[in-house]
Chains A and B, each alone.
Chain A
Amino acid sequence: MTAYDEQRLAELVRALPPAPEAWVAAAQELPLVRGRLDDIVAKAEADLAFRDALVANLEETLRLEGYEPETIPLDELRRRLDA
């Protein structure tokens, strides 16, 4: 038997099943999401009224500004606004 007999190869192919599609898609969207976060934080730093509105009501303010809150990591945004 060789080190790569067919049964062993089959086991090794089986050992790496695909990750859930939603997890992969979320990780692939990372640069886009980071870009959105940077935009919002930069805008909040330049406009104190906008920053205050975000701190008071994050999701509603984002919606009013045309962002989709469900596409933004809100905990990370809160941390960056607090920093």
Chain B
Amino acid sequence: MQLASLPDAQIVARCRRGDEDAWRELVARFSRYVYAICCQAYRLRQEDAEEVFQDVFGRTYEHLERLRSDEAIRPWIGQLTRRLCIDRIRAGSREEITDPAAMPGGADDTMETLDEAFAVHEAMASLSENCREILDRFFARDESYHTIGAALDIPSGTIASRISRCLARLREFMEGRNPAAGTSS
């Protein structure tokens, strides 16, 4: 079974047993989330964001033995990242004026969006590899039709319709997971 398809709890258990491939998967799985919390929710400068990013994974590695619930690794990493971002902002604010929007109170709405975005990215695993690639390249990596077409060896003139079809499939999947969403109007 591919590591990418294993649930979080099994990845954590494998990491705890010293499986380095599982650790690489754990970092890959949560890297976007941690990065987004640093840069979008707390608007850290790149050099601060990089230090927090490495600190988050360093502490995660050290604390794997003491996690109360392997399933709860995502909220645990989310909380740790928030705490380290706040520490970084407070340390910086002793020396310079910080952006008020970067203070913790302004981050809650963004965190909600990022949690939802994480769920959508997880749901993308249900799509074909081609759909996943197209959606990720176009929206998350901001690649042009031309770049996507060249990378995936498909005519760039068909990218827009493929994006539309892949989004429709993703929507069906999300509504299937959350039936209430499909009934609201």
Which A residues are closer than 8 A to B by beta carbons? 1-6, 9-10, 12-20, 23-24, 26-28, 30-32, 34
With contacts A13-B124, A30-B61 taken as known, whether A23 is within 8 angstroms of B50 at the C-beta atoms is yes
Task: Identify which of residues 45-86 in chain B touch chain A, using a CB-to-CB cut-off of 8 Å.
Answer: 50, 53-54, 57-58, 61
A2-B184, A2-B185, A28-B27 given as contacts; is B33 within 8 A of A16 (CB)? Answer: yes
CA distance A10 to B140 in the complex (A): 9
Q: Are A16 and B174 in contact (CB under 8 A)?
A: no
Main SS of chain B's interface residues? helix
How many residue pairs link A and B with beta carbons under 8 A? The number is: 106
Do residues A31 and B171 form an inter-chain contact, with CB atoms below 8 A? no
Name the residue on A nearest B62 (C-beta). Answer: A34
0/1 string, B20-54, CB within 8 A of A gives 1: 10011001100111111000100000000010011
Stretch touching chain A among B2-10, B113-121, B149-157: B113-121
Tell me if B141 counts as interface (CB < 8 A to partner A): yes
Could you tell me if A6 and B141 are in contact, using CB atoms closer than 8 angstroms?
Answer: no
B41 to chain A, nearest CB (A): 11
Residue pairs across A and B with Cβ atoms less than 8 A apart, 26 shown, are A2-B181, A4-B174, A4-B175, A4-B181, A9-B167, A12-B113, A12-B120, A13-B121, A13-B124, A14-B139, A15-B117, A16-B33, A17-B141, A18-B31, A18-B32, A18-B35, A20-B35, A20-B50, A27-B54, A27-B58, A28-B24, A28-B27, A30-B23, A31-B18, A31-B23, A34-B61
Q: How far is the CA of A3 from the CA of B176 in the complex (A)?
A: 12
